[in-house]
Amino acid sequence: ETGVTQSPTHLIKTRGQQVTLRCSSQSGHNTVSWYQQALGQGPQFIFQYYREEENGRGNFPPRFSGLQFPNYSSELNVNALELDDSALYLCASSFDRGQFGEQYFGPGTRLTVT
């Protein structure tokens, strides 16, 4: 167990709706990165939050947004859901942006968009 928790475990939404996913980072970590993992694929980097600010972003549209709170937990928000947003959403907790260092992944949230 990594100490990184995510909620909810599973979620079903319909196209056009909005969703919020949550991640609690490991104690002592100040960085949370979010990844999208489609079925049969490797995780794809969405963005990273470091000390409550977005610190880097992958090739995802603006309807993917996030927050990081003073306790370093984080939220991923997705607006105007599309069918292709169906995936496992993973958060990874690390210290100081996770460069040259281990990133601890949570169990993920399985999002299904119908």
Torsion, CA 92, CA 55, CA 60, CA 66, rounded to 10: 70
Least distance in angstroms from the C-beta of 62 to other proteins:
18
SS3 66: strand
Q: Specify the residue, 16 or 101, whose C-beta has the smaller distance to other proteins.
A: 101
Least distance in angstroms from the C-beta of 7 to other proteins:
13
Cα-to-chain-centroid distance, residue 50:
13
Q: Specify the residue, 10 or 15, whose C-beta has the smaller distance to other proteins.
A: 10
For residue 67, give the amino acid letter: L
3-state helix, strand, coil in the chain (%, to 5): 5, 50, 45
Q: Which two tokens stand for residue 80?
A: 């105007």
Q: Is the alpha carbon torsion for 71, 10, 21, 48 positive or negative?
A: positive
Q: Specify the residue, 85 or 93, whose C-beta has the smaller distance to other proteins.
A: 93
Residues found near other proteins in the complex (CB under 8 A) = 2, 4, 31, 33, 35, 40-45, 48, 50, 55-56, 58, 90, 92, 94, 97-108
Q: Specify the residue, 25 or 48, whose C-beta has the smaller distance to other proteins.
A: 48
Least distance in angstroms from the C-beta of 79 to other proteins:
23
Least distance in angstroms from the C-beta of 98 to other proteins:
3
